[in-house]
Structure 1
């Protein structure tokens, strides 16, 4: 029968559910740091004082120019996307940080790096500002990998989707706070207009770093490092039970057995992530890498990074207010989404979200190129079409916020075996930021009008037609989710290992239901397999 000395398969259960949620979800505050930073730059580059300080002066009228100052497409690409270049390397840095100093102290270190980058962005020299964006990106990249890792390893399995999904909710809250602060400071005629939104980020890093110092280290990491006493103590805090209690001992036994089985198949290198082992390491690694890439290819960061300038080009006079509305929709629907993850399931939400986003983006593109008017300084704006564009952008954001936004982080945090979790998650998160960088850098060249003169830049000037591209990529997201994403709702991390060993992707939900019905654990399965082998001898 299931359970027994090998553990119950319940994940990190606790006598105080509220305390478990508080400890595991506090790390989600890193999402505010992430979301606020990425949400700030889109408004900053549209501010008068920032353009006067860093932009190019032109005597000719140019769309988006403020007091004859504008940001050329190449510089816009650089300043927006360069953060993502830093985050790419920060995500890769999360592996040595997470495995050498731990999930907890890795996050603290990332906050210190981030603060250095923020400080450099307060300078008025272009090179210093750009370097600051890169260094801040390194911190954000490490945080974006380590937070879901810490949450997944410290959460009860029944609400792991909710807790890890809180990271995406925190990202949306951060982006919303950024739009509010930007709207409050945009009319100031001094450097404080853009320095204030940037400097506020010190507070987010201080709260995250200071709070992590008070939380326990991940017990799975401590067992990975063979530090049994510290792991027992951390589990005791997470489960709110005595260190020598049967529940703590059972959980340690379950994690240790799964870890030992993984170590027999891996040698602790990046190459192990791509080995075709019984754990299907290679398939799981490519799933994480492609999943994070497809999340970016939904086009979400086009709205986050360039929403303000896009709405301005569409003839919307108060684009800052519209950006706030979009951020409110993003935040509110993420609240809905994180509650659906453990009820509806990961796989089903991704399928529904991809289909909904695909439809919305094609409608935006079709309306934009027919009834809408998004180019021409003197062109008459079609108000009904403008409202349709705003409405379907909001619908699109709603589908993303309830599906690919939070679910991608949940799946990335739970599909990897413990022995390669830090490496697999660093590769997956690096993929997210690599695509983020590529999309952020290419978008001005795809969307903005060409400019002339000595500093003129030739662009594709797709404007709203870029949504045809996002619609097509969302269609690809649907097929990817169908063929690559297993249903892991309600399973412990060790049970997920068992699912990947024993089930197909298409049949994963049926196998998952069988595991839950029989309360099958990794330890129980291995014990039964050993008994079967003995009986055949």
Structure 2
């Protein structure tokens, strides 16, 4: 799917050699993107599992006061995010010193261990399992988009990078429907909640096994000084010889960026990386943009909806139990359908910027409607779903539509494609740490927020999302069609004037240093060919 739909969707593919869209690229993309299932299953599982009578009885939630139950639910849901913040931080040194592939294998194994521990009906073991699985999910959330972006041809980089997000939404939807299915079972059996949580072991195990046969990323190898191996892997991945113009340009472009970085600073340590981010304006602009995108990504309230969708549907008048889980399942399907559309058609044809602006505006408006409806209609699930509540459900589905076209994907893609190789792992690690620590705070606070703030919870999300729309319009340029290395030139401009440079010309899609190097190489090859021809002619005359 990654190669086929992307080729169909992206106009730039027509000028690329057909050999680069091959089975090796497809296998790599599908394997690495499987990491998204770990995040999606957990998000979709835990909110519904918390409502299951068998789970509430197994972990004592049915015997607690409302306040204590809210606190424990928040702790259970947020434990994964706490681990995720730690995993995101340690992912950078793992990626830089162990390598991308080895790091994904380590985190994949940790995920399997953590999921297995969550099958035990003991609160302490369950907390530990969610923490360990969270560390793995946090690490993979940084490594997977990075790995995909570093190995993708630029004409389909958006589509391949967003495969990670597609698998998040696919697993999220499957988890919602799994919860609905088990809710119809015997409520006295622990098998009810154990199956809902245990299903995530399937994609986790598949990714771990398949990852052994994926190559190391050439860009990371070049930054580590292993240029011969990097060129070999690049040729293998692109299915082209080293002297092919496409491979030569891509290889020289990465080398030009790495050489430019090494002229500024020698060695590889994080103190120097931090200095590079703080003192080099183009780097600090990238860092600021990516960090703010992840903040606004969380401020939309998506974690509250993903983790506690059944309770939110009850707040707008949907009856509890299986009915809210069914409504939640439809919400997951809406996300899935429009994420497929985004990955297959939008991201590499329309780009990242315009869909994000439209999608975020729809999300903000949906949250505003829900806030106002709860405030003035005061709906109750005991009296059935009123007409305004049905409209509220529709707005939640519109929110899912906007999310799939906007914040669902954009921060991941942008963070994966704007940083130079030297600071990429550290910067992405910090961005995902920020993502997970805010996720932790929001997830832990959501049950109490909904109990104490009510409609104000959704008004807060609406206002923050509208602010995010304004930020994206001013500060986020379009990255469709640009090479990763060409962003060096783009971020010479102030972050607050990016709307003036939002859409690149053909010349701006390639790093200027690489163009000079490639032209020099071609000129040298032409001169050598002329000398050879002259020598042959002279021998013929003699």
Residue 534 of structure 2 corresponds to: none
Q: 2:421 aligns with which of 418, 421, 430?
A: 418
Alpha-carbon distance in structure 2 between the residues aligned to 1:13 and 1:221: 23
| Candidates 396, 419, 441, aligned match of 1:438 | 441
Q: What's the counterpart of residue 9 of structure 2?
A: none
1:513 pairs with 2:512 = no
Q: In the alignment, is the contact (CA less than 8 A) between 1:358 and 1:474 conserved in 2?
A: yes
1:287 alignment partner in structure 2: 289
Task: Name the counterpart of 2:196.
Answer: 197
> Distance between the aligned counterparts of 1:55 and 1:294, measured in 2?
35
Aligned CA distance change for structure 1 residues 56 and 253 (closer, same or farther; 3 Å) = closer
Query: Structure 1 residues 292, 13: closer, same or farther in 2, change over 3 A?
Result: farther
Match in the other structure for 1:328: 333
What corresponds to 1:359 in structure 2?
Answer: 365
1:284-311 CA-partner distances (Å, limit 9, x unpaired): 1121112111101111111100001222
Q: Is contact 2:289–2:476 with CA below 8 Å preserved after alignment? A: yes
Tell me how far 1:357 sits from its aligned partner: 1.4
Q: Provide closer, same or farther for how the CA distance between residues 210 and 231 of structure 1 changes in structure 2, counting only shifts above 3 A.
A: same
Residue 411 of structure 1 deviates from its aligned partner by: 0.5
- Report the Cα offset of residue 501 of structure 1: 2.9
Match of 2:525 in 1: none
Matches for 1:491-530 after TM superposition, within 5 Å: 491-501=482-492, 504-510=497-503, 512-515=504-507, 521-524=512-515
The 8 Å contact of residues 94 and 100 in structure 2, kept in 1 or not, is answered as yes
- TM-score under structure 2 length normalisation: 0.86
Are residues 183 and 515 of structure 1, via their aligned partners in 2, closer, same or farther at CA, if it must alter by over 3 Å? same
What secondary structure sits across from 2:88 in the alignment? helix
Structure 1 match to 2:312:
310
The offset of 1:248, in angstroms, is 3.2
Q: Residues 12, 255 of structure 1: CA spacing in aligned structure 2 closer, same or farther, 3 A cutoff? A: farther
Unaligned runs of 5+ in 1: 1-7, 63-69, 449-459, 530-537
Which residue is equivalent to 1:484? 475
1:184 aligns with 2:170: no
**Is 1:129–2:123 an aligned residue pair?**
no
- Greater helix percent: which structure? 2
Post-superposition shift, 1:526?
Answer: 7.8
Secondary structure in 2 matching 1:486: coil
In the alignment of these two chains, the number of paired residues is 496
Residue equivalent to 1:162 = 159
Alignment of 1:213-362 (within 5 A): 213-243=212-242, 245=244, 247-266=246-265, 268-269=269-270, 270-272=273-275, 274-277=277-280, 280-317=282-319, 318-338=323-343, 339-362=345-368
1:184 Cα deviation from its structure 2 partner:
1.8
Report the Cα offset of residue 182 of structure 1.
1.5
Asked if 1 retains the 8 angstrom alpha-carbon contact of 2:253 and 2:511, the reply is no
Report matched runs for 1:448-463 at 5 Å.
Answer: 448=451, 460=452, 462-463=453-454
Spell out, residue by residue over 1:318-351, the C-alpha distance to the aligned partner (whole angstroms, 9 max, x if none).
0010010000001111112222122222222222
Confirm or deny: 8 A CA contact 2:22 2:239 kept in the other structure: no
Tell me if structure 1 keeps the 8 A contact 2:37–2:167.
yes
Q: Distance in 2 between matches of 1:200 and 1:431?
A: 28
Write the distance in 2 (CA, Å) between the matches of 1:34 and 1:57.
Answer: 27
Give CA deviations for 1:231-258 in whole Å, capped at 9, x if unaligned: 1221012111135655434432221111
Map of 2:104 onto structure 1: 107
Residue 208 (structure 2) pairs with residue 209 (structure 1): yes
C-alpha distance 49-348 of structure 1, shift in aligned 2 (>3 A): same
Instruction: Give the Cα separation in 2 of the matches to 1:525 and 1:499.
Output: 17
Partner of 2:533: none
Aligned counterparts of 1:94 and 1:195: Cα–Cα separation in 2: 29
| Cα deviations by residue, 1:103-132 (Å, 9 ceiling, x for unpaired) | 111111111111111121111111111111
CA distance in 2, matches of 1:427, 1:239: 31
For residues 4-48 of structure 1, the C-alpha deviation after alignment (integer angstroms, 9 at most, x for no partner) is xxxx99999661414334433431111112101221111111111
What secondary structure does 2:492 align onto? helix
Alpha-carbon displacement from aligned partner over 1:402-431 (angstroms, at most 9, x marks no partner): 111112211111011110100010001111
2:142 to 142, 145, 149: 145
CA-based RMSD of the aligned residues comes to 2.6
Cα distance, 1:146 vs structure 2: 0.3
SS across alignment from 1:343: coil
Q: Residue 502 of structure 2: SS of its match in structure 1?
A: helix
Structure 1 residues 245 and 514: alpha-carbon distance in aligned structure 2, compared to 1, 3 A threshold: closer
Residues 1:11 and 1:287: Cα distance change in structure 2 (over 3 Å)? farther
Match of 1:419, SS state, is helix
SS in 2 for 1:264: helix
Shift in Å, 1:274? 3.1
Please name the residue that 1:467 is paired with: 458
Structure 2: runs of 5+ lacking an equivalent: 1-11, 521-542
Matches for 1:20-59 after TM superposition, within 5 Å: 20-58=25-63
8 Å CA contact 1:14, 1:239 repeated in 2 = no
Return the TM-score normalized by structure 1.
0.87
